[in-house]
Homo-oligomer: A and B are copies of this chain.
Amino acid sequence: MPTFPIPMPTDLTILLTVMDFVGVFVFGLSGGTLAVRKQLDLFGVMVLSLAAALAGGVVRDLLIGALPPASLQDDRYLLVALAAGLAAFLFHKPINRLGKPVMVLDAAGLGLFTVAGCSKALSYGLTPLPAALLGVMTACGGGAMRDLLVAEVPRVLREEIYAMAALLGAAVVIAGRQLDLPPVPVAVVGALAAFLLRVVSVQRNWSAPKAPWS
């Protein structure tokens, strides 16, 4: 997630940075509250919070060779993720009751992380197909790592329109780049598309298809 490798006006940079931190915090909450449910200790809560918030971006940076990863170069990402872990440790009960607002913020993080990940991969010279995959991985990898750390099959592989929403956002970014459209509006549209598909799919209980006759 960290870093929007797109030249853009200062106001938008500030807005995106704030939303990026919101995404990190909400993803971190998802890791921290799962850790509490799984009876992990304080350290385990912090590790799951860090993993959920940052692992997607870390793996993307490893794969494109952007080392050290962005979230190890700007302490604010670690601090926001750790703050989310502490919040989950202390206030997991009220947080778990906040189902809908957390879902909406998570969907915002999903859109932002996808667009940021995909754009960063393109700016490192990857072609559209792997860049789209890395965008999806940026958004979904943290949640997958979170689930693997408690020995569960990642939810993103099983249910709901989550990765599909990320894929839609990545597709918008790729299409915009292919058509040479200005990157900032394209990024906004991509993030919004992923956000809206995610929110609507939760409202309407949509799921990704499963194999026929399985």
A interface residues, Cβ below 8 angstroms from B: 35-45, 47-48, 50, 58, 62-65, 67-69, 72-73, 75, 78-79, 88-90, 92-93, 124, 126-127, 129-130, 133-134, 144, 148-154, 156-159, 163-164, 167, 207-214
**With A43-B163, A62-B62, A68-B63 as contacts: A214 and B130 at CB distance below 8 Å:** no
A36 touches B126 (CB 8 A): no
A68 to B170, CA, bound (A): 19
A105 to B185, CA, bound (A): 47
**With A40-B157, A92-B211 as contacts: A69 and B63 at CB distance below 8 Å:** yes
A78 touches B130 (CB 8 A): yes
B78 touches A129 (CB 8 A): yes
Contact of A150 among B127, B129, B153 (CB under 8 A): B153
Contact of A75 among B37, B78, B127, B207 (CB under 8 A): B127
Cβ–Cβ < 8 Å partners of A129 in chain B = 75, 78-79
Contact of A42 among B39, B43, B134, B209 (CB under 8 A): B209
Contact of A72 among B69, B130, B213, B214 (CB under 8 A): B130
A4 to B109, CA, bound (A): 39
**With A79-B129, A126-B72 as contacts: A212 and B90 at CB distance below 8 Å:** yes
Cβ–Cβ < 8 Å partners of A73 in chain B = 126-127, 130
A158 touches B40 (CB 8 A): yes
Closest Cβ neighbor of A63 among chain B residues: B68
